[in-house]
Amino acid sequence: MEDLAYRRLLDFYFLHEQPIKHRDIARQIGMREHEEDVMTVLNEFFISTEDGFVSPRADKEIKQYKEFAEAGKRGAAKRWSKPPYEEAISPPNATPIATINHKPITTNHKERATSVACPPDVLQQVWDDWVTLRKTKKAPITKTVLDGAIVEAKKLGWTLEQFLIEWCNRGSQGLKAEWIVKPNPYDVGRLTVPSSNEPNLALLKIEEDAKKAVPIPLEVLAKMAELRRKA
């Protein structure tokens, strides 16, 4: 658990590029049940300052990354800007200067896996599973998608974590609240298929009742769907 805490703390540090506040850090990295292990790692491998815990090793890599990025910007600006000496007139007998083709300077930087961080009320493992599902479906992971999931979860009276777990279990690209509460038509069919060519009285009764019935509240349908899923 300490090894896991160390790797997650480093990921958090690289992501935010700022000292780690010990308050709620275990929850933010999805290890609220192992706060003691998290604090042990912080005290042993990080340095406590007035601003929070810092990592000299991570600070060095972040500094190098920023220096490489700045060098790349200067190199690109130099290549694409027009040098002032091109306007000078060369002597009549001057030897032409060979044109040098410069290849773009490229640096490999560590890109962030997602544009949205794991919400504080969702376990890191659940979030990672959902992110993997989205990548498998080649679907974007944006704040708009996450906000939509929060809205759908509230319709069911569920937490965001419960909604994402159901999403992962279904393995679908998208998920709506009504898809969860809607009864499975095959279940109804198995109970109402007639044994002969005669009209199915059960189906007729269901159709008549459906015309008179008041729609079942969404929260009741959500509870029914949850019971079916647990079964």
Q: What is the pTM of this model?
A: 0.35
Q: What mean pLDDT comes out for the span 123-151?
A: 91
What pLDDT sits at residue 44?
Answer: 87
Burial of 127 (0-12, 13-18, 19+ CB in 10 A): buried
Whole-number percent of the chain with pLDDT over 90: 17
pLDDT tier for residue 160 given thresholds of 50, 70 and 90: very high
What pLDDT sits at residue 173?
Answer: 86
Q: Is the pLDDT of residue 100 over 60?
A: no
Q: Is the pLDDT of residue 98 over 60?
A: no
The residue type found at 144 is T
In whole angstroms, give the CA distance from residue 197 to residue 212: 27
What pLDDT sits at residue 92?
Answer: 55
Nearest to 23 by CA among 53, 59, 64: 53
Which segments of 53-196 does DSSP mark as H helices, in order? 56-80, 124-136, 143-156, 160-170, 177-181, 185-192
What pLDDT sits at residue 113?
Answer: 43
In whole angstroms, give the CA distance from residue 151 to residue 149: 5
Residue 181: phi, psi to the nearest 5? -85, -15
Higher confidence at residue 156 or residue 88?
156
In whole angstroms, give the CA distance from residue 23 to residue 12: 14
Q: Is the pLDDT of residue 213 over 60?
A: yes
Q: Is the pLDDT of residue 7 over 70?
A: yes
Q: Give ∠ CA 138-160-231 in degrees, rounded to 5.
A: 95
Q: Is the pLDDT of residue 190 over 70?
A: no
Whole-number percent of the chain with pLDDT over 70: 71
The residue type found at 59 is D
Q: Is the pLDDT of residue 183 over 60?
A: no
